[in-house]
């Protein structure tokens, strides 16, 4: 593989929205991009080929899960995460911070970092900006994330400000550790904007990160319970303070309507467990909205989940069959629902990218909201 | 599709073993054949393409499970089992009798048939030879099985004889019902030899069935706890009383060594949940014997499950990765283990067929028992 520098090119704009490419050593990511989540080194219930055929250019791996099992040093000894999980394409790893806050127990946060106990076995672990970056280098991810502090909600303005400022200091330490790790060409680290739904804190966070300087910027701490309009307003209040020539990643988002609205406000990258987790629970995304395949009305429906979908589940299987499988708790039910939902999400991104390039995003959003977008 | 009559041709013999083809309307089955089990209209954790690529010519569907969920009439309204589950190749259905005996509750057996309650919801059902055949026609299976009575073990000789004689009377009623159902060309019904491990009862059962006349004959009530040598002796005592020009199917068998020994004693067809169920539990079959992938010694093993296997799990994934997935209860672990074990079983059948055709079965069996057969 020829060494390639990490880069981002915006090739079309429509309002605040952008379409382009992120370039990494392991391949190009078409933006706006949706990253399926491969928590424990697998996108649950999917062969990697299925994820790729759905249209994914990049996956997300969870540092918290992988450091606990099988362990970052073990993954490194086995040749890195890409080889381990048979995904030769780009991988973004999160910092582990969010899952430490949401899954582990006995957390203690200091200036240095966070100590916690594993949700698997109660074992003690420590995470600092430096250790998070070390783990992400051991996994050999293409895009690493800084360690940040995600405050638990509800949080006061003071608490939100304190966590944002700590995250800024950790951003500098994360970047320093990343550079000190001598990453091969084509890798990048992103900073993470915090500040809750306080616009001035978001602005201060963004400006602080830009001063440090990152190849890409994420928005963390959104889609954590606030109403969708508040999330949209916070995005719109933040992106003007981020450079035009760097990708913007909205972490952990979201429902299709969240993605459409965020793209219109200048976001380039997304990750979320919704398509996979909801799929395993029986919720299918379609161009006509969501459906619960467990509903009895599907028991003899010979049609596909979505008549305009080209995925293997829609090509070869009826709603009636998938209803039967999901009701019977058959693994193939999870496999078909996952393949479909991942394809739906990627098709939505194809539609958004195409609409931006044609200068038709407003019409796309309107049609999407009416349940009839051309994607 | 041109109408084709059901048929069986023996093309090579080696001792008691035979290699040939079963011809059905939906395709040819190379014998000796192993049928993966698709209990609830799915081979668990496998795309149909995966099962086919492993080398399967035919699947088994369980009448008991399918009659309860989604229901035989529903499957018929949806176009039959093949279309429902996206398997256009041959399907054999059992009669439902074995699962009624092993899974349902409040069973009551009379001359007419059996009444029982569903293990799902306690609902009452009745099964007669005529209803079993009707269900199998609704499913549109290629090979139907007569209803028989499988006695619970341990059973006295008197009880074994009584059940065998009842099964013979049900065999005639099953055949009559099958013929009365006007099956399309290329379908068949098999009779089932019962009689436990009493050789004279097995002979009487076989002779009674041959007098009725079937396109194929199964051996039921074996591999139910008796030692392997007793099973082999019972097979050897039975096959001489079955016609040479009809396929012989050993139901519910078995481990690889069971299959090898039974093929050497004249069996042509097998079905068993072992490769799929064991795979989901972490047991892999390899040319060097079985291994438990959960064992810690595999945690950093970069080799494949079986270095001579061509399956996708062995081609693209390490034991270390599969160990991680299975320990983490990830669905992909079940998917990879299932793909591998099904491929192992089909490769074993390829090896057996090839050995018979080359007149080298004795050497194959010897090498197999030493862990080094050339397959």
Contact criterion met (CB < 8 Å) for A331 and B328: no
Q: For residue A107, give the 3-state DSSP assignment.
A: strand
Q: For residue B183, give the 3-state DSSP assignment.
A: coil
Reading the block at residue A71, the tokens are 């362990």
Around B31, how many Cα atoms within 13 Å sit in the side-chain half-sphere?
33
Encode A15-33: b = buried (16+ Cβ within 10 Å), e = exposed.
ebbbbbbbbbbbbbbbbbb
Tens of pLDDT, residue by residue over B253-276, are 999 999 999 999 999 999 999 999
Does B64 touch chain A if contact means CB atoms closer than 8 Å? no
- Whether residue A97 is annotated as binding a ligand: the answer is yes
Contact criterion met (CB < 8 Å) for A85 and B312: no
Does A321 touch chain B if contact means CB atoms closer than 8 Å? yes
Size of the A and B interface in Cβ pairs below 8 Å: 96
Q: Which residues pair with A24 in a beta bridge?
A: A27
Per the annotation, the verdict on B271 as an active-site residue is yes
Does B362 touch chain A if contact means CB atoms closer than 8 Å? no
- The whole-number pLDDT of residue A1 equals 45
Q: For chain A, first and last CA: distance in Å?
A: 34
Return d(Cα A268, Cα B286) in angstroms, integer. 47
Rounded mean pLDDT, B309-327: 98
Instruction: Give the active site residue among B14, B94, B268, B347.
Output: B94
Chain B residues with CB-CB distance to A325 below 8 A: 40-42
Return d(Cα B112, Cα B93) in angstroms, integer. 21
Contact criterion met (CB < 8 Å) for B312 and A74: no
Does B330 touch chain A if contact means CB atoms closer than 8 Å? yes
Q: For residue B86, give the 3-state DSSP assignment.
A: coil
Nearest CA in chain A to B71: A324
Return d(Cα A308, Cα B349) in angstroms, integer. 41
Per the annotation, the verdict on B14 as an active-site residue is no
CA distance A298 to chain B (A): 12
Return d(Cα B157, Cα B163) in angstroms, integer. 10
Q: For chain B, first and last CA: distance in Å?
A: 34
Tens of pLDDT, residue by residue over B204-241, are 999 999 999 999 999 999 999 999 999 999 999 999 99
Contact criterion met (CB < 8 Å) for A46 and B332: yes
Q: For residue A27, give the 3-state DSSP assignment.
A: strand
Q: Which residues pair with B19 in a beta bridge?
A: B12
Write the residue in B85, B327, B334 that is nearest to A321 by C-beta: B85
Write the residue in B74, B318, B331 that is nearest to A78 by C-beta: B318
User: How is domain B7-271 classified at the CATH fold level?
Assistant: TIM Barrel (3.20.20)
Write the residue in A79, A324, A331 that is nearest to B331 by C-beta: A331
Contact criterion met (CB < 8 Å) for B330 and A70: no
Contact criterion met (CB < 8 Å) for A299 and B70: yes
Return d(Cα B149, Cα B170) in angstroms, integer. 9
Contact criterion met (CB < 8 Å) for B330 and A86: no
Reading the block at residue A299, the tokens are 């028991």
% of chain B surpassing 90 pLDDT: 94
Element (H, E) at B101: helix B97-103
Contact criterion met (CB < 8 Å) for B330 and A79: no
Chain A residues with CB-CB distance to B74 below 8 A: 299-300, 320
Instruction: Give the active site residue among A94, A268, A306, A347.
Output: A94
Around A135, how many Cα atoms within 13 Å sit in the side-chain half-sphere?
29
C-beta of residue B61 within 8 angstroms of C-beta of residue B36: no
Per-residue pLDDT tens listing for chain A (375 residues):
456 899 999 999 999 999 999 999 999 999 999 999 999 999 999 999 999 999 999 999 999 999 999 999 999 999 999 999 999 999 999 999 999 988 888 899 999 999 999 999 999 999 999 999 999 999 999 999 999 998 877 899 999 999 999 999 999 999 999 999 999 999 999 999 999 999 999 999 999 999 999 999 999 999 999 999 999 999 999 999 999 999 999 999 999 999 999 999 999 999 999 999 999 999 999 999 999 999 999 999 999 999 999 999 999 999 999 999 999 999 999 999 999 999 999 999 999 999 999 999 999 999 999 887 778
- The whole-number pLDDT of residue A178 equals 98
Rounded mean pLDDT, B288-296: 96
The binding site of B for Zn(2+) consists of: 309, 311, 314, 340
Q: Classify strands B33-36 and B269-272 as parallel, antiparallel or unpaired.
A: parallel
Q: For residue A58, give the 3-state DSSP assignment.
A: coil
Contact criterion met (CB < 8 Å) for A331 and B327: no
Does A335 touch chain B if contact means CB atoms closer than 8 Å? yes
Whole-complex ipTM: 0.97
Contact criterion met (CB < 8 Å) for A325 and B42: yes
Cβ atoms < 10 Å from Cβ of B335: 27
Return d(Cα B31, Cα A298) in angstroms, integer. 39
Chain A residues with CB-CB distance to B316 below 8 A: 86
Does B299 touch chain A if contact means CB atoms closer than 8 Å? yes
Instruction: Give the active site residue among A14, A57, A142, A271.
Output: A271
Does A177 touch chain B if contact means CB atoms closer than 8 Å? no
Encode B25-35: b = buried (16+ Cβ within 10 Å), e = exposed.
bbbbbbbbbbb
Return d(Cα B329, Cα B336) in angstroms, integer. 12
Write the residue in B45, B77, B312 that is nearest to A300 by C-beta: B77
In total, chain B counts a number of residues equal to 375
C-beta of residue B166 within 8 angstroms of C-beta of residue B149: yes
Phi, psi of A157 (to 5 degrees): -60, -40
Q: What are the domain boundaries of chain B?
A: 7-271, 279-366
pTM: 0.98
């Amino acid at each position: 593989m020829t060494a390639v520098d990490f880069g981002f090119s915006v090739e079309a704009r429509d309002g605040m929205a952008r379409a382009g490419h992120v370039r990494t050593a392991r391949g190009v990511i078409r933006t706006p991009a949706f990253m399926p989540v491969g928590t424990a080194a697998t996108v649950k219930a999917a062969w990697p080929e299925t994820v790729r055929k759905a249209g994914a250019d990049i996956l997300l791996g969870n540092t918290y899960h992988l450091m606990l099992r099988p362990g970052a040093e073990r993954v490194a000894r086995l040749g890195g995460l890409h080889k381990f999980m048979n995904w030769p394409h780009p991988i973004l790893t999160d910092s582990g911070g969010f899952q430490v806050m949401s899954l582990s127990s006995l957390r203690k946060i200091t200036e240095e970092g966070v100590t916690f106990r594993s949700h698997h076995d109660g074992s003690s672990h420590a995470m600092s900006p430096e250790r998070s970056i070390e783990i992400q280098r051991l996994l050999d991810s293409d895009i690493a994330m800084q360690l940040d502090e995600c405050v638990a909600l509800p949080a006061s303005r003071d608490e939100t400000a304190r966590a944002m400022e700590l995250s800024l200091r950790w951003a500098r330490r994360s970047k320093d550790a990343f550079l000190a790790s001598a990453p091969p060409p084509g890798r990048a680290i992103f900073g993470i904007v915090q500040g809750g739904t306080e616009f001035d804190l978001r602005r201060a966070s963004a400006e602080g990160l830009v001063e440090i300087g990152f190849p890409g910027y994420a928005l963390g701490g959104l889609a954590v319970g606030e109403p969708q309009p508040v999330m949209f307003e916070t995005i719109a209040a933040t992106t003007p303070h981020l450079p035009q020539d760097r990708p913007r990643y909205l972490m952990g988002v979201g429902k299709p309507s969240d993605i459409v609205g965020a793209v219109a406000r200048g976001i380039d990258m997304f990750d979320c467990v919704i398509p996979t987790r909801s799929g395993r629970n029986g919720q299918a995304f379609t161009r006509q909205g969501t459906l619960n395949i467990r509903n009895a009305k599907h028991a003899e429906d010979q049609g596909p989940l979505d008549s305009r979908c080209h995925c293997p589940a829609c090509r070869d299987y009826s709603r009636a069959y998938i209803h039967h499988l999901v009701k019977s708790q058959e693994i193939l039910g999870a496999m078909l629902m996952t393949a479909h939902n991942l394809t739906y999400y990627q098709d939505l991104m194809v539609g958004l990218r195409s609409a931006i390039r044609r200068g038709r995003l407003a019409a796309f959003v309107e049609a999407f909201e009416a349940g009839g977008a051309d994607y």
